[in-house]
């Protein structure tokens, strides 16, 4: 899926494959433009395999968190973070944080691909609160579903305001960069934890990327994406509960600065957990607010598909918090583990890339994963 492609400019859809069918590239760049941070991962490919050549991040200026941002400001931030690396010849795949990219799951009758392409534009008007003419649309066919004995096509539609696409395209042009594609974070996560991991189980599993304000949930069935949803909860939900209930100085500070889980916060939470049963219960109440949204989405999917999710892989910056996997597992009554990525980092063979870079890495992998 690509909402913008430098080869054919913004357009309405066309059948897109889940994984890019482009010829493998020698290098690729993934840029995750979030509401709190801009994260970059550059990878390269050779006969020895794929490796991470560079990864880094900078804080997103508050002005860039709105749709009325100045293109020159984003261009300056891009030049700042990309100044240390040679990125001119690498395809650049990006995604946009928050709710800038809208997704909807729809079901369509069985029909030829060309007819499907024409029909989706009219069908999707029922599911979007804004005029379709103002949007750039694309879609991917996730497979066949059975409903009341009839087979239907499961379509994931993505939409973004045309003016927003133009602003990002112009900002990158000002930085002398060219966007290859605007992709979905859900697909990026799939590439990282499933696409390059031949051992990922065929069971129904969830992947949860815990962001600051939102979290991306995807469900994978038989190694294929079956469900996606952007949840309106994230690390801020947990931090807010900690700051409110435990009166933690570092939780309040992290909430104000957007730094997320710091070493100081982790130590303070750990002390609080050991100090008294009451504080442990307060901690659990903070997790409960977050888990309520996760549980609702999982139950919705399970009720629709008549299947059971068998486990959850967590990633994102908050996945680094010691013990969060066990806390989520207890609250959701499911096995939960922190996702790990088996990819080499240049000049640091003993290190692994941090969970917070999973989306940016997956964007770069769009060019090289079969």
Greatest alpha-carbon span in the chain: 64
Query: pLDDT tens for residues 49-73?
Result: 899 999 999 999 988 887 788 999 9
Q: Tens of pLDDT along 20-40? A: 333 455 889 999 999 889 999
**Which pLDDT tens digit goes with each residue over 149-158?**
788 999 999 9
The pLDDT assigned to 253 comes to 56
Average pLDDT for residues 307-320, to the nearest whole number? 93
Share of the chain above pLDDT 70, in %: 80
Q: Which of 9, 364, 69 lies closest to 189, judged by CA?
A: 364
Which residue from 106, 191, 186 is spatially nearest to 145, judged by alpha carbons? Answer: 106
Q: Which of 328, 144, 334 is nearest to 226 (CA)?
A: 144
The rounded distance, in Å, linking the Cα atoms of 136 and 3 is: 6
User: Could you give the residue range(s) of every CATH 3.30.420.40 domain in the chain?
Assistant: 15-102+160-196+341-365, 215-338
User: Which residues, in sequence order, are CB contacts of 229 under 8 Å at separation 6+?
Assistant: 216, 217, 297
* CATH code at 15-102+160-196+341-365: 3.30.420.40
252 contacts: CB under 8 Å, gap ≥ 6: 243
As assigned by CATH, the class of the 215-338 domain is alpha beta
How do residues 73-105 score in pLDDT, each as one tens digit?
Answer: 999 999 999 987 876 688 999 999 878 899 999
pLDDT digits (tens, 9 = 90+) for 117-175: 889 988 999 888 889 999 999 999 999 887 777 889 999 999 999 999 999 999 999 99
Nearest to 189 by CA among 149, 152, 216: 216
R_g over Cα of the chain: 21
* Alpha-carbon span 312 to 354, nearest angstrom: 18
């Amino acid at each position: 899926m690509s909402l913008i492609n430098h080869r054919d400019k913004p357009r309405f859809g066309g059948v897109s494959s889940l994984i890019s069918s482009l010829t493998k590239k020698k290098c690729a760049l993934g840029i995750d433009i979030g509401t709190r941070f801009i994260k970059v991962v550059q990878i390269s490919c050779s006969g020895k395999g794929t490796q991470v050549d560079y990864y880094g991040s900078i804080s997103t200026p508050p002005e860039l968190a709105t749709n009325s941002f100045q293109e020159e400001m984003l261009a300056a931030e891009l030049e700042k973070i990309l100044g240390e690396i040679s990125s001119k010849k690498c395809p650049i795949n990006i995604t946009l944080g928050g709710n800038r990219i809208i997704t909807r799951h729809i079901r369509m009758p069985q029909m030829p691909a060309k007819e499907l392409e024409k029909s989706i534009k009219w069908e999707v008007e029922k599911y979007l609160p804004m005029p379709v003419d103002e949007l750039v649309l694309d879609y991917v066919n996730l497979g066949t579903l059975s409903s009341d004995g009839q087979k239907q096509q499961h379509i994931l539609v993505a939409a973004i305001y045309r003016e927003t696409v133009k602003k990002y395209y112009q900002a990158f042009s000002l930085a002398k960069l060219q966007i290859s594609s605007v992709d979905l974070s859900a697909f990026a996560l799939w590439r990282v934890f499933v696409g390059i991991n031949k051992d990922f189980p065929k069971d129904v599993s969830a992947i949860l990327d815990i962001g600051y304000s939102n979290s991306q949930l995807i469900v994978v069935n038989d190694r294929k994406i079956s469900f996606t949803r952007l949840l309106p909860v994230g690390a801020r939900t947990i931090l807010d509960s900690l700051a409110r209930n435990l009166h933690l100085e570092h939780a309040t500070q992290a909430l104000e600065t957007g730094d997320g889980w710091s070493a100081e916060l982790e130590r303070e939470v750990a002390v609080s957990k050991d100090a008294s049963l009451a504080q442990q219960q307060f901690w659990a109440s903070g997790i409960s607010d977050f888990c309520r949204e996760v549980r609702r989405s999982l139950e919705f999917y399970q009720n629709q598909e008549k299947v059971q999710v068998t486990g959850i892989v967590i990633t994102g910056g908050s996945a680094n918090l010691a013990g969060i996997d066990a806390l989520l597992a207890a609250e959701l009554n499911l096995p939960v583990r922190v996702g790990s990525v088996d990819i080499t980092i240049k000049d640091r063979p003993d290190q692994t890339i941090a969970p917070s870079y999973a989306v940016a890495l997956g964007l770069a992998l769009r060019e090289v994963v079969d």
